Amino acid sequence: MESWNSSIHFCQWHGITCGRKHQRVTKLELQFLELSGSLSPYIGNLSFLKELNLEGNSFYNQIPQEICRLRRLETLELSNNSFTGEIPSNLSACYKLTLVGMRGNQLTGEIPASLGFLSNLKHLNFAINRLRGSIPPSLGNLSSLEKLSLRTNSLSGVIPEGIGQLTNLSVFSVEENAISGTIPFTMFNLSNMRSFDIGGNNIQGTLPSDLAITMPNLKFFSAWENQISGK
């Protein structure tokens, strides 16, 4: 980060992208740089920010609530750090978000139901954390969602019926949780599904015999250690 000094305009600093007209920071891309420490609440002052990528560093402590002031934010990638605490409850205020990645942290608490208001969201990844509670039924409102990964947490409850209405969904992963109930039958009609992983839960029921027809694009299917019966 030697370029981050007063002799060079901040728009020329490593990892910084500015808008051409207003010279305001629009991207902060600092992934895999061995950075550590807390994420400053002043991050909320970057009001023109569209992309925040801090993946693969060693940031810790809570994700500041002030991040929800970034109304232009489209990409929030915080995966593979050591963030603790809960997912910011008012993240839905960043209504332009298309990607939320928080995989591989130490986040606790429940998945906020308010995330169901993020109508532009395509990728949602909370895998490998310590989240509990159930999958919010409101996620069934995310009509643009393509990838949903919640694997390796402590989630319980059932898979909401609304998930079966997400026709753009291509990746669904809830492996290694404590989810019960049955798979919503409508999920087997999601023709864009490529990867379907429910292994390591307490899910019951049977699989449809025409799965290869209703899910023609399926490349990966895993249902180990459940209570599924039939052929």
For the chain, give every domain's residue range.
18-229
Q: What is the pLDDT of residue 175?
A: 98
CATH architecture label of 18-229: Alpha-Beta Horseshoe (3.80)
Identify the pLDDT of residue 103.
Answer: 98
Q: 4-13 b/e with 16+ CB inside 10 Å = b?
A: eeeeeeeeeb
Predicted confidence at residue 18, as pLDDT, reads 97
Q: What pLDDT score does 231 carry?
A: 80
Q: Low-confidence residues of the chain, pLDDT below 70?
A: none
DSSP calls for 4-25 = -STTS-GGGSTTEEE-TTT--E
- The pTM for the full model equals 0.95
Looking at residue 230, what is its pLDDT? 81
Q: How far, in whole angstroms, is CA 184 from its chain's centroid?
A: 21
Report pLDDT for 3. Answer: 87
Tokens 């909370």 map to which residue? 126
